[in-house]
């Protein structure tokens, strides 16, 4: 149905957003709106999109259908911190080091024996997170190496048994909650340490023939029990948890690939929802249709993400330097301005950004990471209004720009600073006021005279265009933003 109507009016995904000029074309708008409505009847109007539709009569901003988890806070808060922290902070060369370098358990043991993050101060982490403008955090309770940060009753391979000698998770949860931040747990489905986890093509000892032969009888059912038991602990003993971020399934990728039957994903999901109703569950359990959020990793989607033709809630996850775990010699650092652009780009496409830090073996955010977070915080302090509560806009931004929108406030993010003018086609008569967001200084608006031809000091003008007059000097912020108040 949707496809046939779509074909009839040759509606492409790009046309989810109508340009302001098309607003005037009522007939066409009505046709597009009809297609849009037929495109998902379960979709409910609400939040900014609902307001917009009321105000403008129609909007093409996608509206994901509700899922079991509570994503209302999530799509408002937009920006979170990912933390990858485990034994791999000691070798300091990527969290997959055990796998990449085919390290055997006994060779990995020194990292366990020397894990002593004596400077670990979760209160300082929480404050740095909040100061960066992040509103939630997701911490690796266990990564693929199998090491647990909490005092699990189901294993000895845990922080309390290392020289640091204590549960690292409880003070973490308390510190972040105390700062008013939402808390999520990343939990690895994969485990390269557990004695019942079958040696497969992704395993750290995948090429060790003697080891494989000696461990050929491993029974994943035993591991599954452990996995479910640990998830039960995590979602029972640490109060309300906002997100569970499972990682990851690879049913077809390699020999011994693993997916829903191996993890017991259906039962696991049921357990999660029973223990923490409302918790957000990500999309890596190999259970199509079950996820609350999609999690594109280390790339920016081209537009609002969809599954089976339906728009979904999504969150890009990005690193500071290409590695999730602390990686001492990695030089691939993204600049703070690039990272801010990734945040803006995500919100402009209706998504969130989960930005990662890999603390070091002393338990600190290394200076480069701390400085980057602080620089991002200097931007979010002034520009939070253009991020929190915002989503994609119906309007098409000029080149090198992004739009985010919250009700009648439209935010123009200028990735490049043009000389004197930004031209907004189709905006004539639609804007009540505009200002630079960083200092609330007025941005003058000029409605063009369409009869003006280009000559010596006058530029050619275009009917329906609104021109914003910018200062010559670019404001000294990572990305300048103009706050545009649309007329009712």
Where on the chain is the footprint of ligand GLC (CB under 6 A)? 84, 95-96, 247-248, 297, 317, 324
Minimum distance, C-beta of residue 12 to ligand GLC, in the bound complex (Å):
30
Minimum distance, C-beta of residue 253 to ligand GLC, in the bound complex (Å):
11
Integer Cα distance of 113 and 161 in angstroms? 9
Integer Cα distance of 351 and 305 in angstroms? 8
Complex with ligand GLC: residue 120 or 248, whichever CB lies closer: 248
Q: At what angle do helices 220-236 and 265-275 cross, to 10 degrees?
A: 10
Complex with ligand GLC: residue 174 or 297, whichever CB lies closer: 297
Q: Tell me, what DSSP letter sits at residue 57? A: S
Express the helix, strand and coil content of the chain in percent, nearest 5 each. 30, 20, 50
Structure tokens at 65: 């259908």
Structure tokens at 298: 């280390």
Minimum distance, C-beta of residue 97 to ligand GLC, in the bound complex (Å):
11
Structure tokens at 477: 């912020």
Complex with ligand GLC: residue 84 or 135, whichever CB lies closer: 84
Complex with ligand GLC: residue 96 or 136, whichever CB lies closer: 96
Complex with ligand GLC: residue 36 or 250, whichever CB lies closer: 250
Cross-strand bridge partners of residue 409: 406, 485
Minimum distance, C-beta of residue 186 to ligand GLC, in the bound complex (Å):
7
Complex with ligand GLC: residue 197 or 248, whichever CB lies closer: 248
Integer Cα distance of 11 and 8 in angstroms? 8
Complex with ligand GLC: residue 142 or 406, whichever CB lies closer: 142
Complex with ligand GLC: residue 255 or 299, whichever CB lies closer: 299
Prior bond of 325 cis (ω within 30°): no
Burial 163-178 (b: 16+ CB within 10 A, else e): ebeebbbbebbebbbe
Minimum distance, C-beta of residue 190 to ligand GLC, in the bound complex (Å):
8
Integer Cα distance of 317 and 320 in angstroms? 10
Q: Please report the beta strands in 190-313, taking only residues with DSSP state E, as ranges in sequence order.
A: 243-247, 280-281, 306-307, 310-311
Complex with ligand GLC: residue 247 or 364, whichever CB lies closer: 247
Integer Cα distance of 449 and 272 in angstroms? 61
Integer Cα distance of 298 and 295 in angstroms? 10
Minimum distance, C-beta of residue 73 to ligand GLC, in the bound complex (Å):
21
Largest CA distance in the chain: 84
Minimum distance, C-beta of residue 444 to ligand GLC, in the bound complex (Å):
45
Minimum distance, C-beta of residue 92 to ligand GLC, in the bound complex (Å):
15
Minimum distance, C-beta of residue 317 to ligand GLC, in the bound complex (Å):
5
Minimum distance, C-beta of residue 325 to ligand GLC, in the bound complex (Å):
7
Complex with ligand GLC: residue 96 or 112, whichever CB lies closer: 96
Kindly tell me the burial class for residue 288, based on how many C-beta atoms sit within 10 Å of its own C-beta (0-12, 13-18, 19 or more).
exposed
Complex with ligand GLC: residue 84 or 383, whichever CB lies closer: 84
Sheet of strand 409-414: strand arrangement: 401-406, 409-414, 481-486, 431-436, 441-442
Minimum distance, C-beta of residue 23 to ligand GLC, in the bound complex (Å):
39
Integer Cα distance of 433 and 335 in angstroms? 32
Q: Are 116 and 163 in contact (CB under 8 A)?
A: yes
CB atoms near residue 458 (< 10 Å): 10
């Amino acid at each position: 149905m949707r496809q046939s109507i779509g074909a009839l009016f040759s509606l492409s995904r790009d046309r989810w957003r109508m340009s302001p000029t098309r607003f005037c074309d009522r007939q066409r708008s009505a046709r597009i709106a009809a297609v849009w409505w037929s495109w998902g009847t379960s979709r409910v109007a609400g939040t900014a999109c609902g307001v917009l539709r009321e105000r403008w009569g129609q909007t093409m901003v996608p509206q994901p259908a509700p899922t079991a988890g509570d994503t209302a806070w999530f799509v408002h808060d937009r920006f979170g911190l990912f933390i990858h922290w485990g034994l791999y902070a000691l070798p300091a060369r990527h969290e997959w080091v055990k796998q990449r370098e085919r390290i055997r358990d006994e060779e990995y043991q020194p990292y366990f024996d020397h894990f002593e993050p004596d400077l670990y101060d979760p209160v300082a982490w929480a404050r740095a997170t909040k100061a960066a403008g992040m509103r939630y955090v997701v911490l690796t309770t266990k990564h693929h190496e199998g090491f647990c940060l909490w005092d699990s009753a189901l294993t000895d391979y845990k922080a309390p048994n290392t020289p640091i000698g204590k549960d690292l998770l409880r003070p973490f949860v308390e510190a972040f909650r105390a700062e008013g931040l939402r808390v999520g747990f990343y939990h690895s489905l994969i485990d390269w340490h557990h004695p019942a986890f079958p040696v497969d093509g992704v395993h750290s000892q995948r090429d060790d023939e003697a080891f494989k032969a000696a461990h050929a009888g491993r029974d994943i059912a035993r591991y599954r029990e452990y996995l479910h038991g640990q998830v039960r602990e995590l979602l029972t003993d640490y109060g309300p948890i906002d997100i569970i971020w499972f990682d990851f399934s690879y049913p077809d990728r390699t020999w011994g690939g693993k997916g829903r039957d191996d993890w017991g994903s259906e039962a696991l999901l049921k357990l999660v929802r029973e223990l923490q109703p409302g918790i957000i569950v990500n999309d890596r359990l190999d259970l199509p249709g079950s996820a609350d959020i999609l999690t594109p990793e280390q790339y920016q989607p081209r537009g609002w993400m969809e599954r089976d033709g339906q728009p979904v809630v999504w969150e890009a996850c990005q690193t500071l330097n290409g590695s999730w775990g602390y990686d001492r010699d990695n030089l691939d650092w993204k600049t703070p301005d690039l990272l801010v652009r990734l945040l803006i780009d995500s919100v402009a496409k209706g998504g969130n950004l989960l930005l990662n830090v890999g603390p070091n073996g002393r338990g600190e955010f290394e200076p480069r990471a701390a400085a980057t977070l602080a620089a991002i915080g200097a931007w979010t302090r002034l520009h939070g209004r253009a991020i929190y509560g915002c989503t994609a806009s119906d309007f098409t931004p000029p080149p090198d720009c992004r739009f985010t929108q919250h009700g009648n406030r439209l935010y123009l993010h200028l990735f490049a600073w043009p000389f004197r003018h930004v031209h907004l086609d189709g905006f004539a008569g639609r804007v009540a006021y505009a200002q630079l967001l960083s200092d609330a200084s007025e941005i003058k608006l000029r409605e063009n005279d369409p009869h003006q031809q280009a000559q010596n000091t006058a530029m050619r003008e275009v009917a329906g265009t609104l021109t914003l007059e910018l200062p010559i000097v670019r404001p000294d912020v990572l990305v300048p933003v103009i706050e545009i108040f649309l007329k009712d």
